């Protein structure tokens, strides 16, 4: 039995008899079983074990959402669907626009059984004027790529502060699109939760803020937990992202046994918070889908806590809690420290080199760490976790500019 099969053995028992259970949604009939001396048993796989309602939207979704920052084939999404995933998250710019197209292909014929989330304006230049007309064009482009006539949830992507949208005509345009039936629900995704999760309760954003996606994991997020609770109490859908705290297990040792892996434990921790509806995960390959889905409905165990402790100990002085932001106010030059550290994470930990470099190129030149070498390093002093922030900024600048 392979590692993954061993890991998911109990999940297999829970979902059906080996060979008879292909999957709740699986369209494969015995006719789909190979012709070579047919009749071989199809192996049992992990399955989604928990479905939740996203806030007050009434949308029922799997506790794990298929994230699409990078996946090598539309068949990976279709596989996740077969394993019970019913919510698919994308953005206009993921994989250079290819992610929406992949979903269009993978989810054909399943539209009424799935919830699709997409996002716009993730890549905006400093000072760029955002308009309702742009939003309409973007929504139409997404509908075309996704081969659908409605989007379940549309997010303003990577909101830093509501100041970015409050004086635009975006909010009335979102409402207009809802009336037209092109979109059903709205909200935002954010890496600046300490700011945006406070601002979002302003009554003037009530209609817009229906679902929120924020960074939350076992290494950061404690600070925003009261606001997550408030969101939940107000019936706003809550989705956690960046759940693996950098996913640095690849560089570490002994983070897996034959029953449970670090990502599964990290996901369980996030979903252990009753105010978090679900978690979004980039399922890049069939194997990632199996591994992550193995964590659906799973509860934390004593050994898990020890594993997370070990992870925190090992990466404590290395992992930047980018939503913490303690360092940024200390910088006399206004360097966009948390954004730059996030791009470093995309580049070094996620392997999204091109995306990281493109994002960095869009950053306002004045907010880049160009003349940090001569600074005494206020950011390093301010970091509550002892990270060598200044050195990392300088190296990241080199890395993302070269």
- What is the binding site for another protein (CB under 8 A)? 2-4, 22-23, 26, 28, 32-43, 45, 70, 72-82, 106, 247, 249-258, 261, 263, 284-288, 291, 349-351, 353-354, 357, 361, 370-371, 373-374, 391, 394-395, 398-399, 401-402
Q: Beta partners for 281?
A: 66
What is the nearest approach in angstroms of another protein to the Cβ of residue 247? Answer: 6
Please state the φ and ψ torsions of residue 32, each to the nearest 5 degrees.
Answer: -80, -10
Tokens 């799997």, residue? 62
By beta-carbon proximity to another protein, the closer residue of 141 and 348 is: 348
Residue 144 or residue 354: which is nearer to another protein going by CB? 354
- Nearest residue (CB) to another protein, 57 versus 86: 86
Distance CA 221, CA 214 (A): 9
Collapsing DSSP states into helix, strand and coil, what is residue 241? Answer: strand
Q: Report DSSP state, residue 220.
A: B
CB of 395 to another protein, least distance (A): 6
8 Å CB contact between 86 and 62: yes
Minimum distance of another protein from residue 326's CB (angstroms): 23
| 94 closest CA partner among 70, 125, 64 | 70
Could you tell me which residues come within 8 angstroms of residue 131 by beta carbon, excluding any fewer than 6 positions away? 168, 169, 170
| 168-186 residues labelled b (16+ CB within 10 A) or e (exposed) | eebbebbeebbeeebbbbb
- Taking the complex as a whole, the smallest distance from the CB of residue 381 to another protein amounts, in Å, to 19
Q: Which is nearer to another protein, 6 or 234 (CB)?
A: 6
- Quote the least distance from Cβ 341 to another protein, whole Å: 16
CB nearer to another protein: pick between 202 and 361 = 361
- Check: CB of residue 211 under 8 Å from CB of residue 187: yes
Q: How far is the CB of 16 from another protein (least distance, A)?
A: 13
Nearer to another protein, 37 or 112 (CB): 37
Distances 148 to 119, 185, 261, 345 between C-alpha atoms, Å: 15, 15, 36, 33
- Closer of 131 and 287 to another protein (Cβ): 287
The half-sphere exposure of 310 on its side-chain side, counting CA atoms within 13 A, is 14
Please tell me whether residue 130 adopts helix, strand or coil conformation: coil
d(CA 237, CA 276): 8
Q: How far is the CB of 348 from another protein (least distance, A)?
A: 10
Cβ proximity to another protein: between 382 and 399 the closer is 399
What is the smallest separation between the CB atom of 350 and another protein, expressed in angstroms? 5
Distance CA 379, CA 387 (A): 9
Of 137 and 353, the one with the shorter C-beta distance to another protein is 353
CB-based contacts of 233, cutoff 8 Å, min separation 6: none
Task: For the CB of residue 216, give the shortest distance to another protein in the complex, in Å.
Answer: 19
In the numeric block, which tokens belong to residue 332?
Answer: 């006399």
């Amino acid at each position: 039995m392979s590692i993954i099969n061993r890991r998911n053995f109990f999940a297999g028992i829970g979902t059906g008899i080996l060979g008879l259970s292909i999957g709740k949604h699986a369209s494969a009939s015995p006719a789909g079983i190979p012709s070579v001396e047919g009749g071989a048993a199809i192996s049992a796989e992990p399955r989604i074990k928990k479905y939740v309602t996203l806030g007050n939207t009434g949308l029922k979704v799997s506790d794990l959402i298929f994230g699409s920052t990078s996946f090598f084939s539309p068949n990976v999404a279709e596989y996740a669907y077969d394993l019970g995933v019913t919510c698919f998250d994308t953005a206009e710019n993921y994989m250079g626009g290819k992610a929406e197209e992949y979903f269009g292909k993978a989810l054909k014929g399943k539209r009424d059984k799935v919830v699709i989330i997409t996002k716009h304006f993730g890549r905006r230049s400093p000072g760029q004027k955002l308009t309702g007309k742009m939003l309409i064009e973007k929504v139409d482009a997404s509908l075309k790529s996704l081969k659908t006539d409605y989007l379940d949830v549309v997010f303003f992507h990577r909101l830093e502060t509501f100041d970015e949208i409050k004086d635009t005509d975006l909010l009335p345009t979102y409402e207009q699109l809802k009336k037209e039936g092109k979109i059903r629900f709205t909200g935002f995704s954010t890496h600046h939760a300490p700011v945006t999760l406070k601002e979002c309760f302003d009554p003037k954003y009530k209609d817009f803020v229906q679902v929120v996606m924020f960074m939350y994991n076992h290494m950061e997020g404690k600070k925003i937990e009261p606001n997550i609770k408030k969101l939940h109490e107000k019936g706003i859908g809550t989705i956690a992202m960046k759940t693996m705290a950098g996913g640095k297990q690849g560089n570490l040792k002994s983070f897996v046994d034959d029953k449970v892996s670090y990502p599964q434990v990290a996901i369980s921790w996030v979903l252990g918070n009753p105010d978090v509806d679900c978690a979004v995960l980039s399922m890049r390959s069939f194997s990632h889908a199996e591994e992550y889905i193995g964590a659906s409905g799973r509860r934390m165990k004593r050994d898990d806590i020890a594993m997370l402790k070990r992870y925190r100990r090992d990466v404590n002085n290395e992992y930047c809690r980018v939503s913490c932001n303690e360092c940024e106010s200390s910088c006399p030059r206004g360097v966009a420290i948390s954004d730059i550290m996030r791009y470093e994470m995309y580049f070094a930990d996620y392997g999204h080199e091109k995306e990281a470099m493109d994002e960095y190129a869009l950053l306002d030149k004045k907010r880049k760490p160009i003349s940090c070498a001569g600074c005494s390093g206020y950011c390093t002093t301010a970091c509550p976790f002892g990270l060598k922030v200044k050195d990392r900024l300088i190296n990241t600048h080199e890395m993302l500019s070269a």
